[in-house]
Amino acid sequence: MQGGILMAKQKNIYVCSECGNESPKWMGQCPACRQWNTFVEEVKVKTNSIHNSNEINLKNKPEKLSCIEMNQEERVLTKISELDRVLGGGIVKGSLTLVGGDPGIGKSTLLLQMCQFLCAQDINVLYISGEESLQQIKMRGDRLGVNGDKLTLYTETNLSLCVKAIKDLLPNVVIVDSIQTIYSDDITSSAGSVSQVREVTSALMKVAKGLSISTFIVGHVTKEGAIAGPRVLEHMVDTVLYFEGVRSASYRVLRAVKNRFGSTNEIGVFEMRNKGLQEVPNPSEYMLTGRPINSPGSIVTCCMEGTRPMLVEVQALTSPTNFGMPRRTATGTDYNRVVLLMAVLEKKIGMQLASYDSYVNIAGGLKITEPSLDLGIICAIASSFKNIPVNSKTVIMGEVGLTGEVRGITMAEQRIIESKKMGFKKCIISKANVKGINIDGIELIGVENVAQALNYIF
């Protein structure tokens, strides 16, 4: 048939479940992402068609940059200030947002609470669930106090029916929970496979952009903590949010790792309670609650999460080992970095740690790998080793090099202001950061190396 479909070829291909790379044959290692045993077999239907070049109608034509009109993106506030902060100031009209996190961490709870605030602003919301029944969602909504005629629930896993419901209702916001449960009839593989996730996300993106509907999709995560499915999924969406935390702990951290409409690495802090997630407006105060006073091995430092300074407690414990090989443990920070800093203590300070087990923990369960923690970790280990407490009103921060020098850190003034606000009277920081900063109410001590820092605190 001329000008139409000639044939449909069906063939088996192998797709990497990590990055989406396709191969005509199975391979043990993916040549793109270098991961092992990630190729899965799928059936691909390829449709060939012949189009006359005269029939092509260009809807979008190339335009010069100077001729393009730019309007400020339209945003809707969720009335959850921590969520609005992470999104960059609210929900952008027509945006596609991916929310990922461990099972039971609170993804659905947060989105359902968001529905309550949106409905109160006379915004129509369509909640599509492929995992729970209408009764289950209703029970959870009653527990969270969610109600309103502007919220419509729909339980369906077929992509065509979901798209039809969106086009019929034309809501302002759509929530799909979760993307791994939705399937397309055009793909023969099962729901949740690489091809299905990619096709479903592509279809939802076209609907969101074409009808200017803000869409949230929930994604499962792998055991490594990454979004399950191909990496291309994160490239397709506008915003990627990770919901982090330990289910046994009450805190939750919402982190933006990609945001086309705002800052990346911005975080929002929540606390899980009986009535759902509650915002934590002052994370520094929350993280320092219960901190031991004048206890050896306890140090307070300041890290930056996006544009927000946050005070955290670094704990260290050293004890004589009963084995030939001492044990090293790091919780909440990079293990290799801790081992490196301990080597600096041994080489530059002469602290004999080879016969001691050493444990380092970031209290509160946060995972922080920022270099500004280096000096705090070193001082915490030294405090525990000497069994001498550090003044509880002292905050310590700075990056440490291999030769024992203390380097400057970024946004030092914001960190110092946050420390003063939380009642700290003394700040030990790199000498390079002290220049040009004059803040009343807190004493700044500039140090050039680790030895000087230890002399000040002991």
Please indicate, yes or no, whether residues 184 and 327 belong to a single structural domain of this protein.
no
Cβ pair 149, 124 in contact under 8 A: no
Per-position b or e across 216-229, b if 16+ CB within 10 A of its CB? bbbbbbeeeeebbb
Please indicate, yes or no, whether residues 256 and 297 belong to a single structural domain of this protein.
no
Domain assignment present for 67: no
Which of 232, 259, 281 lies at the terminal end of a domain, its last residue?
281
Please indicate, yes or no, whether residues 392 and 261 belong to a single structural domain of this protein.
no
Separation of alpha carbons 140 and 275, rounded Å:
10
pLDDT value of residue 318: 96
Please count the structural domains in the chain: 3
The answer for residues whose C-beta is within 8 angstroms of residue 443's C-beta and 6 or more apart is: 425, 426, 427
Separation of alpha carbons 276 and 231, rounded Å:
31
Map residue 6 onto helix, strand or coil. strand
Separation of alpha carbons 133 and 177, rounded Å:
12
Please indicate, yes or no, whether residues 49 and 83 belong to a single structural domain of this protein.
no
Segment holding 256, helix H or strand E: strand 251-259
Which of 281, 301, 335 lies at the terminal end of a domain, its last residue?
281
The torsion angle over the Cα atoms of residues 231, 237, 238 and 242, rounded to 10 degrees, is -60
The answer for residues whose C-beta is within 8 angstroms of residue 308's C-beta and 6 or more apart is: 85, 266, 267, 283
**If we measure between CA atoms, which residue out of 451, 223, 202 comes closest to residue 350?**
451
Map residue 361 onto helix, strand or coil. strand
Please indicate, yes or no, whether residues 344 and 432 belong to a single structural domain of this protein.
yes
Per-position b or e across 182-214, b if 16+ CB within 10 A of its CB? bbbeebebebbbbbbbbbbbebbbebbeeeebb
Cβ pair 444, 383 in contact under 8 A: no
pLDDT value of residue 7: 46
Separation of alpha carbons 133 and 156, rounded Å:
9
Cβ pair 297, 284 in contact under 8 A: no
pLDDT tens over the chain, length 458 residues: 444 444 455 677 888 877 778 888 888 998 888 888 888 777 665 544 444 444 445 566 788 888 877 776 788 999 899 999 899 889 999 999 999 888 888 899 999 999 999 999 999 999 999 989 999 999 999 988 888 789 999 999 999 999 999 999 999 999 999 898 999 988 877 787 777 888 899 999 999 999 999 999 998 776 555 665 556 688 889 999 988 876 666 788 898 889 998 887 678 889 888 888 999 888 888 889 889 988 999 999 999 887 789 999 999 999 999 888 899 999 999 999 999 999 999 999 999 999 999 999 998 777 888 999 999 999 999 999 999 999 999 999 999 999 999 999 999 999 999 999 999 999 999 999 998 888 899 999 999 999 999 999 98
What size, in residues, is the chain? 458
**If we measure between CA atoms, which residue out of 272, 292, 268 comes closest to residue 282?**
268
pLDDT value of residue 43: 67
Domain assignment present for 441: yes
Please indicate, yes or no, whether residues 290 and 276 belong to a single structural domain of this protein.
no
Give me the residue label for tokens 């040549």.
31
- One-letter amino acid identity for 92? V
Provide the strand spans (E) within 307-436.
Answer: 308-320, 328-331, 356-362, 394-396, 399-400, 406-407, 426-430
Instruction: Provide the 10 A C-beta neighbour count for residue 306.
Output: 18
pLDDT value of residue 299: 95
| DSSP conformation class of 291 | P
Domain assignment present for 19: yes
Please indicate, yes or no, whether residues 43 and 179 belong to a single structural domain of this protein.
no
The answer for residues whose C-beta is within 8 angstroms of residue 257's C-beta and 6 or more apart is: 240, 241, 242, 264, 265
Instruction: Assign residue 298 the CATH number of its domain.
Output: 3.30.230.10
Segment holding 127, helix H or strand E: strand 125-129
Please indicate, yes or no, whether residues 297 and 406 belong to a single structural domain of this protein.
yes
**If we measure between CA atoms, which residue out of 441, 447, 397, 444 comes closest to residue 423?**
441
Q: Which residues span the domain enclosing 350?
A: 286-457
pLDDT value of residue 248: 63
Domain assignment present for 62: no
The rounded Cα 296 to chain-centroid distance in angstroms is 33
Strands 426-430, 443-447: pairing kind: parallel
| DSSP conformation class of 455 | H
Please indicate, yes or no, whether residues 49 and 122 belong to a single structural domain of this protein.
no
Please indicate, yes or no, whether residues 168 and 153 belong to a single structural domain of this protein.
yes
**Residue 213 corresponds to which tokens in the numbers above?**
């509907």
**Residue 55 corresponds to which tokens in the numbers above?**
């029939």
**If we measure between CA atoms, which residue out of 443, 410, 413 comes closest to residue 428?**
443
- One-letter amino acid identity for 353? L
CA angle 404, 449, 360 (to 5 degrees): 60
Task: Judge residue 60's burial from the number of C-beta atoms within 10 Å of its C-beta, 0-12 exposed, 13-18 middle, 19 or more buried.
Answer: exposed
Domain assignment present for 60: no
Please indicate, yes or no, whether residues 314 and 415 belong to a single structural domain of this protein.
yes
Instruction: Assign residue 147 the CATH number of its domain.
Output: 3.40.50.300
Please indicate, yes or no, whether residues 128 and 200 belong to a single structural domain of this protein.
yes
Domain assignment present for 68: no
Separation of alpha carbons 316 and 331, rounded Å:
10
Domain assignment present for 64: no
Which of 281, 309, 325 lies at the terminal end of a domain, its last residue?
281
Domain assignment present for 450: yes
